[in-house]
Amino acid sequence: MDKITEYVNILRQADIFYDLSDEQLKMIAALCTEIAPKKGEVIFEENSAGDELYVVANGTVDITVNPALVQSADAKTSGPVTIATIRRGQAFGEIALVDQGLRSASARCSSKKARLLVLPRDGLIKLCDEHPDLGYLLMRNIAADVAFKIRGTDLVIREQLRWRPRE
């Protein structure tokens, strides 16, 4: 099996590529490169610039936030907190495709045999500009994915606020 076909099969599993045709997936697959981070390796840091989207082909990636970045200096912190574990067929880093802002969390490889597909923002945006139907579907799916993640985070925050001792 050639790399493009292999990448299409991986991309097909990711929700952000839902409803894309085989031809559209092949165009996206042609932009992909891959990396194989080692367990514990940081893929990107919170508050760093980002211009790539990642799709997990194998393994797992922990998404973490550092509470010290939002807590007062005297607050006790125990280091980064894992807010999600991304598995095969899931994507992360998609907000960088939309706004080119700073990363809202860190990503760290959490398995021994990880393999990630990497999609560069510039190539993907160019593809969306050249193929508006693909661009519409992709951006719709990214919006739905981000909304789902925001709702999940909202539930976690509400739960933490509910159980926080009152001062």
Fold of 3-163: Jelly Rolls (2.60.120)
pLDDT in tens, 67-117: 876 655 545 556 788 888 999 999 999 887 788 888 989 999 999 999 999
pLDDT in tens, 15-40: 999 999 999 999 999 999 999 999 99
The dihedral of CA 87, 93, 98, 104: what is its sign?
A: positive
> What's the N-to-C CA distance of the chain in angstroms?
61
Q: How far apart are CA 120 and CA 81, in angstroms?
A: 27
